[in-house]
């Protein structure tokens, strides 16, 4: 299990937490990794807290990221940063919502994809798979906006790192 | 062979397709809802029933006719379907009937965390349980085969983590085409008068016995050799947590969770020094194994609550009973900002009502600022509970009692409560408010018999809530729009509360999240010149 990468996404219902985790899971799948993704939704659609776990590697067993063992924690809402922090491992990387300048985004709704761009900087997944996953997850009219958001996030992470 | 990333629910839908299922029916309930939606999207014939009991009866009828049927529901829905389920075990089926029950350990979106494995034991039905999407696919196919072979309904138990987790699924190519349904008369098997039911019960026990013997060698219990010092018996997704938490342990992964392969379990337990049963929910396996005289260790009672995960499994194995870390305290869900329920709740609060509530988005009205619900027990319970309160409270308080229920829940089991309301009216009368938002909002905007559209959003006959109330003889029946006329709603409710009569108020306004889609479906229906939907303009 040592090669398994654990990513937790957190935010509020309606922010695209699940969509972001779907895109990462798909990108990892396209890159030939074993993938598991688990989330709890239902009531969560009504603006409450939502988290989604993605794990990928050679073989993934449990679909849930053990508490305190996340390598990356991607948070979409400022109010969720402190709450979900304990999920992150000691050497883990936090990707907070203010890493990306919202005003620079072509569309505020694409913050989730921008933060994926920031995450992509840390992960060993080829760009082509990221882009294919973004396109597969979103309707065509949103492709361009989100690809731009993805690049923006990637650059922002470069500056921060 | 196609490899895809699928949720457990989507995997069951794929199996229904590849297994030649003729009909899928059910009632939306998180986390099971997506199975039928995905089955329909794949081209399967899927439909929503008014409730789980009806869904199971429709599936059973199809299976009597030799068809393959899948019926889906959440764990609490199985309670509603329990009546026909127990007798279906006696009648058996001619085709195949797979009942999918999705449990919710940890209660992500449910009112209790009951363990559906108890139903398999009580009804005497085989039950399979997958650990991930690939197994959900394979075991759903296996369940269809088992059902056909043993002529019994088969339960497929899922849990939230399996339903809503995505993992890689390889679909089989061609599965044998299902035979065309044909009805063959078999009165003695299907009419459960006592004279026929007595032999039917004996037949069921015989089938279970031979099934149990078959299960001992069937590839539905996977024995993973490991250390002799520690052996673990586990089922479902828990078995995956165990492999991660204790990779060195020997492991017996159970896929057939009823009947249990006790001889295999006996051999496994004897092969290790310490044998621990780790299961989410009730100690069903541990108890059964111990009752068979096999010494095993179970989990501590504190692990009866909530989901298991890798850290909790480590704790169970280490017999660690120290306090567990609190789950992150997130923000609770709430009514959408422009939800039509807001004016309803502020009015109920203003009038000081005692509110018997029900299950749906409006249950969120229980949270601040409204705290506008005094009871919420089960689907459809708001009517009966409200009536009970009215019967016994002193008159002044009884007059404040209101039952509120959503449109989908009203059709599900509220209708029976309305009949009770007319039949045994309390001396002060009663007021029922039906919150008609034109959809099943909580589970993700599914259709129901009151919307006038089928699962695929195609027009069909539309049930009229106010028409039903009038037909049953309710004295006062009104329809209002709580957003357009909040003052009118308040006047009406206050007036009805002061009368010792029966009143039904339909507060009608579409869910804001569903409104755009509803308009789109209506337009499409109008363009098609659909005659089946005369009430469309009232939605
Ligand atoms: S989803 Fe619809 S019914 Fe539910 S809270 Fe939002 S607006 Fe109200």
Instruction: Write out pLDDT tens, residues B340-373.
Output: 999 999 999 999 999 999 999 999 999 888 999 9
Query: Residue B220: CB partners within 8 Å, gap ≥ 6?
Result: B128, B142, B254, B255, B256, B261
Atom of ligand 1 nearest to the CA of B335: 5
Q: Is B404 helix (H, G, I), strand (E, B) or coil?
A: strand
Q: Give the DSSP letter of residue B403.
A: E
Which ipTM was obtained for this model?
Answer: 0.90
* Per-residue pLDDT at A2: 64
Q: Are A68 and A57 in contact (CB under 8 A)?
A: no
Tokens coding B365: 């009205």
**Cβ contact, residue pair A83, B330, below 8 Å:** yes
Residue B512 CB–ligand 1 contact under 6 Å: yes
Which one, of B414, B434, B420, B365, lies nearest residue B388 by Cα? B420
pLDDT band at B294 (very low <50, low <70, confident <90, very high): very high
The β-bridge partners of B227 are: B249
If pLDDT is split at 50, 70 and 90, which confidence band does B281 have?
very high
Mean pLDDT of B128-132: 98
| B340 CA: nearest ligand 1 atom | 8
Tell which residue, B322, B247, B252, has the closest CA to residue B289.
B252
CB contact under 8 A, A46 and B108: no
Among B30, B332, B335, which residue has the most ligand 1 atoms within 8 Å of its CB, making it the best to mutate? B335
Predicted confidence at residue B538, as pLDDT, reads 43
Residue-wise pLDDT tens digits, B71-100: 999 999 999 999 999 999 999 999 999 999
Smallest CA–CA distance from B34 into chain A, residue? A42
pLDDT, residue B70, reads 98
Burial class (CB in 10 A: 0-12, 13-18, 19+), A159: exposed
Q: Is the confidence at residue B197, as pLDDT, over 70?
A: yes
DSSP, collapsed to helix, strand or coil, labels residue B287 as helix
Q: Which residue from A minimizes the CA distance to B363?
A: A43
pLDDT digits over B301-333, tens only?
999 999 999 999 999 999 999 999 887 778 888
**Size (chain B), residues:** 539
Mean pLDDT (chain B, rounded): 94
Closest CA to ligand 1's atom 6: B336
Task: Write out the two tokens for B399.
Answer: 């007059």
B31 neighbourhood in chain A, CB within 8 Å: 42
Q: Is the CB of B341 under 6 A from ligand 1?
A: yes
Residue of higher predicted confidence among A14 and B52: B52
* Separation of alpha carbons B167 and A26, rounded Å: 10
Q: Is the pLDDT of residue A96 over 90?
A: yes
What are the residues facing A98 on neighbouring strands? none
Q: Which among A25, A64, A67 has CB closest to B161?
A: A64
Q: How far is A86 from chain B (nearest CA, A)?
A: 8
Q: Which of the four pLDDT bands, split at 50, 70 and 90, describes residue B539?
A: very low
Asked whether residue B1 carries a pLDDT value surpassing 80, the answer given is no
Residue closest by Cα to atom 8 of ligand 1: B339
Nearest CA in chain B to A55: B167
Hey, whose CA ends up nearest to atom 3 of ligand 1?
B511
Name the residue among B509, B497, B511, B498 with its Cα closest to residue B403: B497
How far is the centre of ligand 1, averaged over its atoms, from the C-alpha of B512 (Å)?
6
Counting residues of chain B whose pLDDT is more than 90, the rounded percentage is 90
Q: Could you tell me if the CB of B339 is within 6 A of ligand 1?
A: yes
Mutate: best of B103, B110, B161, B243, partner A, most A CBs <10 A: B161
pLDDT at residue B537 is higher than 50: no
B178-208: b (≥16 Cβ within 10 Å) or e: beebeeeeeeebbebeeeeeeebeebbeebb
């Amino acid at each position: 299990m040592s090669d398994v990468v654990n990513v937790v996404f957190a935010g509020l219902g309606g922010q695209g937490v699940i969509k972001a985790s779907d895109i990462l899971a798909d990108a990892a799948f396209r890159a030939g990794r074993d993938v598991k993704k688990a989330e709890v939704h239902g009531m969560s659609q009504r603006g409450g807290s939502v988290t989604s776990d993605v794990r990928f590697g050679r073989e993934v067993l449990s679909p849930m990221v053990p508490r305190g063992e996340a390598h990356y924690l991607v948070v979409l809402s400022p109010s969720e940063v402190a709450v979900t922090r304990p999920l992150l491992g000691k050497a883990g990387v936090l990707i907070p919502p203010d890493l990306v300048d919202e005003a620079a985004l072509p569309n505020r709704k694409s913050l989730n994809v921008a933060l994926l761009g920031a995450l992509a900087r840390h992960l060993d997944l080829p760009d082509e798979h990221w882009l294919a996953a973004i396109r597969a997850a979103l309707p065509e009219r949103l492709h361009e906006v989100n690809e731009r958001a993805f690049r923006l996030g990637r650059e922002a992470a470069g500056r921060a790192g | 062979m196609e490899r895809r990333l699928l949720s457990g629910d989507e995997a069951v839908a794929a199996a229904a397709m590849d297994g030649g299922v003729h009909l899928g029916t059910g009632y939306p309930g998180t986390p099971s809802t997506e199975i039928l939606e995905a089955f329909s999207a794949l081209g399967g014939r899927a439909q929503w029933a008014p409730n789980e009991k009806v869904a199971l009866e429709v599936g059973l009828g199809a299976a009597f006719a030799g068809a393959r049927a899948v019926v889906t529901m959440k764990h609490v829905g199985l309670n509603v379907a329990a009546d026909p389920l127990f007798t279906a075990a006696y009648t058996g089926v001619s085709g195949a009937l797979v009942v999918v029950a999705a449990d919710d350990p940890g209660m992500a979106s449910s009112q209790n965390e009951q363990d559906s494995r108890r139903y398999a034991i009580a009804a005497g039905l085989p039950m399979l349980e997958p650990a991930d999407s690939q197994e959900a696919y394979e075991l759903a196919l296996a369940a269809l085969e088992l059902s056909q072979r043993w002529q019994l309904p088969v339960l497929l138990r899922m849990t939230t983590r399996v339903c809503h987790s995505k993992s890689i699924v390889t679909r089989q190519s061609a599965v044998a085409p299902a035979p065309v349904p044909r009805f063959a008369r078999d009165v003695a098997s299907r009419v459960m008068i006592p004279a026929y039911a007595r032999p039917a019960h004996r037949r069921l026990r015989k089938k279970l016995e031979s099934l149990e013997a078959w299960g001992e060698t069937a590839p539905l219990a996977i024995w993973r050799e490991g250390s002799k010092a520690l052996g673990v018996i586990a089922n479902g997704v828990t078995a995956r947590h165990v492999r991660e938490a204790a990779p060195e342990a020997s492991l017996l992964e159970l896929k057939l969770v009823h009947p249990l392969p006790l001889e295999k379990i006996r051999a496994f337990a004897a092969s290790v020094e310490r044998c621990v049963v780790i299961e989410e929910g009730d100690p069903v396996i541990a108890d059964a194994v111990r009752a068979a005289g096999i010494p095993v260790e179970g989990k501590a009672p504190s692990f009866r609550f909530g989901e298991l995960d890798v850290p909790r499994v480590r704790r169970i194995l280490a017999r660690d009973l120290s306090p567990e870390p609190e789950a992150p305290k997130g923000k609770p869900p709430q009514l959408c900002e422009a939800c039509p329920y807001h004016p309803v709740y502020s009015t109920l609060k203003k009038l000081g009502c005692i509110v018997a509530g029900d299950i749906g988005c409006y249950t969120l009205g229980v949270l601040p600022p409204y705290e506008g619900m005094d009871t919420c027990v089960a689907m459809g319970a708001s009517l009966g509970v409200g009536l009970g309160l009215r019967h016994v409270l002193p008159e002044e308080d009884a007059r404040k009692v209101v039952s509120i229920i959503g449109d989908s829940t009203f059709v599900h089991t509220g209708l029976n409560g309305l009949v009770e309301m007319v039949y045994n009216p309390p001396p002060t009368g009663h007021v029922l408010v039906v919150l008609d938002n034109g959809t099943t909002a909580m589970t993700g905007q599914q259709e129901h018999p009151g919307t006038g559209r089928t699962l695929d959003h195609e027009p069909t006959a539309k049930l009229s809530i106010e028409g039903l109330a009038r037909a049953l003889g309710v004295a006062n029946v009104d329809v209002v729009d709580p957003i357009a006329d909040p003052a009118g709603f308040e006047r009406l409710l206050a007036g009805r509360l002061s009368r010792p009569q029966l009143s039904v108020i339909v507060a009608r306004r579409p869910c804001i999240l569903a409104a755009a889609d509803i308009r789109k479906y209506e337009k499409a229906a109008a363009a098609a010149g659909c005659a089946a939907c005369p009430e469309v303009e009232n939605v």
